[in-house]
Structure 1
Amino acid sequence: MISPIDRLQPLAALTEDQKTVETVQTAEQVPFGAVFRSAVDNVRQTDAEKVQTDYLLATGQLDNPAQSTIAGTKYQMAVELLVQLRNRALDAYSELTRINM
């Protein structure tokens, strides 16, 4: 005996997820100034941590000497990120100044 094929229902979960992704992309736009300010604050914070761990290492108060190396690496990465953001901003500014109106 042959039974009829039921109508296919649309994938409701897929369309709901797609709407969520679209709203997240538009809601999370952050101004560049806030991102740059956050990067500068991160550099300041990691520098303070590096100076503190270096002081503790020099005075013999640091239990794990690897913490000083880790703090130095975090600081180096924060500075590199800030430099890359600055370079991207300068490149974007250069592109905007080259546009002929």
Structure 2
Amino acid sequence: MSITPINRLEPMQFLDQLNAENKTKNTQSDFRSIFSEAVSNVVDSETDLAREQYLFATGQSEDTHSLGIASTKAQISVDLLVTLRNKALESYNELMRINL
């Protein structure tokens, strides 16, 4: 039985490339931007749902499936936002439990 030696890890080139691409795009991928994007998705999907409901209620909608699609999109975006919030709270609570 032989033991394979541990090799030194070389720096990952693709991480450097990703960092360079992010700097050129001037985009932030921090939690605040992710959370604000999720909130704006909820607002947009709720607005679309309200518009589809109005069109359906007034008889202006020619396709009835668009109301169901808008409703599902709104529900999924709310579920995603709630999941993000729950995971953020779990992470915060876990950090608070760490003994230094």
- TMscore range, shorter length: 0.7 to 0.9
- Kindly indicate whether residue 47 of structure 2 is the aligned counterpart of residue 66 of structure 1: no
Structure 2 counterpart of 1:30? 29
- 1:47 and 1:33 map into 2 onto residues whose CA distance is 21
Q: What is the RMSD of the two structures over their aligned residues, measured on CA atoms?
A: 1.6
- What runs of 5+ residues in structure 1 fail to find an aligned partner? 1-17
3-state DSSP of counterpart to 1:79: helix
3-state DSSP of counterpart to 2:63: coil
Report the alpha carbon displacement of residue 96 of structure 1 after superposing the two structures with TM. Answer: 0.6
Structure 2 counterpart of 1:41? 40
Letter of the 1:83 counterpart: V
- 1:79 and 1:54 map into 2 onto residues whose CA distance is 18
Structure 1 counterpart of 2:49? 50
Q: Structure 1 99/35 Cα, relative in aligned 2: closer, same or farther at 3 Å? A: same
Report the alpha carbon displacement of residue 26 of structure 1 after superposing the two structures with TM. Answer: 3.8
If the length of structure 1 is used for normalisation, what is the TM-score? 0.75
Count of residues paired in the alignment: 83
Report the alpha carbon displacement of residue 22 of structure 1 after superposing the two structures with TM. Answer: 2.1
Runs of 4+ in 1 over 6 A off after TM superposition: none
If the length of structure 2 is used for normalisation, what is the TM-score? 0.76
Report the alpha carbon displacement of residue 24 of structure 1 after superposing the two structures with TM. Answer: 4.4
Structure of larger gyration radius: 1
- 2:77 and 2:83 map into 1 onto residues whose CA distance is 10
- 2:79 and 2:88 map into 1 onto residues whose CA distance is 14
Q: Structure 1 58/26 Cα, relative in aligned 2: closer, same or farther at 3 Å? A: same
